[in-house]
């Protein structure tokens, strides 16, 4: 086990070799969690990316919100492959990493799962109605629950998509999708996944601002998400998020 150090913060960081970290019900059907341990040569680059991601949060913010990060090469739940999940009661996240993976994509998975922990523990601060007003007419997520009622972030909608598309294609955005207000196909499965993907983009992708400028729906989601983060901690204002991907020039 490693310890990630940041200002006023220490997070347990581990590379599990089996599923002993999982709650007992995750080991049984229908979840039936399964992992492939990370390769030895991938541990250092994964650690470096995670350290960078953690340092993007305000000092001490994660201290009471995230206690453990687990990294594996492959994660399967409900018979499908996933990029990550979270254990709300343990304040932990599980994420996948392999050496060929794009660094920004991996970092996005970290912020994706952390945002679920935040949503789970602060659901009263999330403006569901405002988010729903940013959806296309006659659109419906595959699940209508804000917080998905399952042990992992897997949903019937994700399973359905993964039965016909590769995990990588689910995270590929298109101009048509972005105009409708979705960053990728994965975003269309539930409010939670949509929220997660916008959060990940705000922490890692400078193009999120350009995409939002071209879609009133996406711009509304960005506003709702920033308002949520700011309600959790006032340091998460719009300038904070702009500086993450578009650093202001030094005066």
Q: Using CA atoms, how far apart are residues 166 and 164, in angstroms rounded to an integer?
A: 7
* pLDDT tens figures, 24-57: 999 999 889 999 999 999 999 999 999 999 999 9
How much is the pLDDT for 153? 44
User: Measured between alpha carbons, how far is residue 120 from residues 67, 130, 239 in Å?
Assistant: 15, 18, 25
User: Measured between alpha carbons, how far is residue 87 from residues 9, 56, 99, 113, 243 in Å?
Assistant: 19, 22, 25, 10, 30
Q: Using CA atoms, how far apart are residues 46 and 210, in angstroms rounded to an integer?
A: 29
Q: Using CA atoms, how far apart are residues 24 and 179, in angstroms rounded to an integer?
A: 42
Contact call for residues 11 and 3 (beta carbons, < 8 A): yes
How much is the pLDDT for 100? 83
What is the edge-to-edge ordering of all strands in the sheet holding 80-82? 34-36, 74-77, 80-82
Residues 6+ apart with CB under 8 A from 215: 178, 179, 180, 181
Task: Find the angle CA(121)-CA(12)-CA(116) to the nearest 5 degrees.
Answer: 25
Task: Find the angle CA(119)-CA(232)-CA(180) to the nearest 5 degrees.
Answer: 55
How much is the pLDDT for 168? 47
Give the residues of the chain that fall short of pLDDT 50: 2-3, 5-8, 150-168
Q: Using CA atoms, how far apart are residues 101 and 209, in angstroms rounded to an integer?
A: 24
How much is the pLDDT for 183? 96
The model carries a pTM of 0.88
User: Measured between alpha carbons, how far is residue 227 from residues 6, 56, 126, 191 in Å?
Assistant: 26, 18, 8, 16
How much is the pLDDT for 144? 67
Place of tokens 């601002």: 209
Residues 6+ apart with CB under 8 A from 121: 65, 88
């Amino acid at each position: 086990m490693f310890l990630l150090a940041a200002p006023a913060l220490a997070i347990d960081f581990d590379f599990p070799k089996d599923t002993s970290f999982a709650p007992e019900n995750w080991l049984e059907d229908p979840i039936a969690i399964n992992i492939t341990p990370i390769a030895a040569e991938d541990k250092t680059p994964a650690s470096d990316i995670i350290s960078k991601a953690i340092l993007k949060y305000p000092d001490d913010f994660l201290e009471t919100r995230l206690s453990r990060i687990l990294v594996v090469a492959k994660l399967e739940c409900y018979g499908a492959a996933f990029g990550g999940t979270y254990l709300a009661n343990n304040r932990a996240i599980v994420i996948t990493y392999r050496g060929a993976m794009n660094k920004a994509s991996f970092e996005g998975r970290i912020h994706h799962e952390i945002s679920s922990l935040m949503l789970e523990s602060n659901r009263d601060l999330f403006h569901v109605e405002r988010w729903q007003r940013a959806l296309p007419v006659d659109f419906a997520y595959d699940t209508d629950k804000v917080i998905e009622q399952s042990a992992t972030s897997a949903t019937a909608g994700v399973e359905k998509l993964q039965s016909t598309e590769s995990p990588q294609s689910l995270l590929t955005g298109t101009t048509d999708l972005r105009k409708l207000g979705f960053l990728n196909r994965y975003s269309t499965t539930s409010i939670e996944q949509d929220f997660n993907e916008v959060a990940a983009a705000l922490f890692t992708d400078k193009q999120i601002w350009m995409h939002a400028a071209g879609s009133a729906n996406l711009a509304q989601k960005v506003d709702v998400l920033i308002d949520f983060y700011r309600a959790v901690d006032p340091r998460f204002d719009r300038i904070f998020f702009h500086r993450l991907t578009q650093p202001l020039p030094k005066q």
